Amino acid sequence: MGKLLEVTDLKVDFATAKGTLRAVDGVSFSLDKGESLGLVGESGCGKSTTAYALMRLLSDNGRVSGGKVEVDGKDLVAASDVELRKSRWQDIAIVFQNAMTALNPVMKIGDQLADALVLHQQVPRSQAMARAAEIFEKVGLAPSRLMHYPHEFSGGMKQRAVMALALICSPKVLLADEPTTALDVVAQRQVLELLVALKKDFGLSLILISHDISAVAETCERVAVMYAGQIVEEGPTRRTLLGARHPYTRGLVASMPSLHADIDTLESIEGGPPDLTHPPAACRFAPRCPYAQPICTAEAPPMVEVDAERRSRCHFALDLDQLKPRERSANVAS
């Protein structure tokens, strides 16, 4: 049986003043029913663009220039606008990054939920409001708050309301784009726990987009690490993060603050990502990589199978531990 979501060789281009910028370059991954995948990487690595491309919600200067996005066998890249409208929110839905702006400020939240259901599933309004109340309870909000405006909600409550909006049409795949941004730490934890509970409750397939590796480690069964528009490492979350086979993943993990380690020094990944209007022809991480060898600036590394469940885009994925890394800088935490 095929996977619920299959993304194959996805490419996304943006027209910029400097020329065409390929923000996503040959991204492939798949997701089973009920499975969760975390997409991690620095700002600008292409993780949010990948999510928006799956929904075909790119800005006017962006376009999907290649590849396939199949949800339950339907190709959303090739779909007509009418077909796409049917799939959005019902097959695949998104929790937007900024809950403050994802809701219409001049409409009561219950009306926004009911409108989405009436529009996409043509149900009577009374039935739509009953469903909105049901979903509100699932996300931990009192149905009595349905007739309130967004400005009457706290940040954490708004994020829950945005999650209710994404779930109102019972999608099969839920994309959550940095859902904890701008929340305090208590609300962040509550939102992540809620995502895990909703995934189980609704049988959802979940893609969590985050720069926060620990959020993904706690929430997702699999992780895909993105760098400069490409997936550079993918596999089961724990094994991939603890036994990384790509130097960039190792750098991300090493730069994570830990409760148990000395916090006087934090490791950093030196340098910055390449200009994607003119990406390097060889390894994109080579200028920053402490393990780089002559071949790395001469040839682009292929995606290598580390084992049946893991892959890494590194010439030395299978023997990284035999290389001696260049010394990293240590930044003194202030």
Q: Least CB distance from residue 327 to ligand SF4, whole Å?
A: 15
* Residue 272 CB coordination number (10 Å): 10
Q: Site map for ligand SF4, 200-239, x if CB under 6 A?
A: ----------------------------------------
Q: Is 198 in the site for ligand SF4 (CB under 6 A)?
A: no
CA–CA dist 75, 128 (Å, integer): 29
Question: Minimum distance from CB of 10 to ligand SF4 (Å)?
Answer: 22
Query: Residue 313 Cβ, how far from ligand SF4 at the closest point, in Å?
Result: 7
Geometric angle at alpha carbon 82, from 76 and 84, rounded to 5°: 25
Minimal distance, residue 280 CB to ligand SF4, in Å:
10
Pick the binder of ligand SF4 from 103, 289, 310, 311 (CB under 6 A).
Answer: 289
Distances 169 to 26, 110, 137, 150, 173 between C-alpha atoms, Å: 30, 14, 15, 20, 11
Question: Which is nearer to ligand SF4, 131 or 246 (by Cβ)?
Answer: 246
Nearest to ligand SF4 of 34, 243 (CB atom): 243
Q: Show contacts with ligand SF4 in window 244-283 (CB under 6 A).
A: 246-247, 283
Closer CB to ligand SF4, residue 96 or residue 285?
A: 285
Residue 291 touches ligand SF4, criterion: CB under 6 A: yes
217-252 core/surface letters (b: 16 or more CB in 10 A; e: else): bbbbbbbbbbbbbbbbbbbebeebbeebbbbbbbbb
Residue written as token pair 């954490």: 156
Q: What are phi and psi of 22, to 5 degrees?
A: -90, 100
Say if residues 207 and 127 touch (Cβ distance below 8 Å).
no
Task: Please say whether the beta carbons of 88 and 79 come within 8 A.
Answer: no
Is residue 285 a contact residue for ligand SF4 (CB under 6 A)? yes
Task: Pick from 12, 53, 209, 314 the residue near ligand SF4 by CB under 6 A.
Answer: 314
User: Counting contacts by CB under 6 A, is residue 296 touching ligand SF4?
Assistant: yes
292 is a site residue for ligand SF4 (CB under 6 A): yes
Q: Taking Cα atoms as reference points, which of 173, 7, 190 lies closest to residue 92?
A: 173
**Taking contact as CB under 6 A, which single stretch among the options 21-29, 94-102, 131-139, 293-301 is the one that binds ligand SF4?**
293-301
Edge-to-edge strand order for the sheet containing 74-75?
19-31, 5-16, 62-71, 74-75
Looking at 237, 301, 306, 311, which residue binds ligand SF4 (CB under 6 A)? 301
Size of the site for ligand SF4 (CB under 6 A): 14
CB of 314 to ligand SF4, least distance (A): 3
How far is 156 from 314, CA to CA, in rounded Å? 40
Could you give the CA distance from residue 69 to residue 76 in angstroms, rounded to a whole number? 6
The answer to whether the beta carbons of residues 144 and 151 sit under 8 Å apart is no
CB of 293 to ligand SF4, least distance (A): 6
Q: Which residues bind ligand SF4 (CB under 6 A)?
A: 246-247, 283, 285-286, 289, 291-293, 296, 301, 314-316
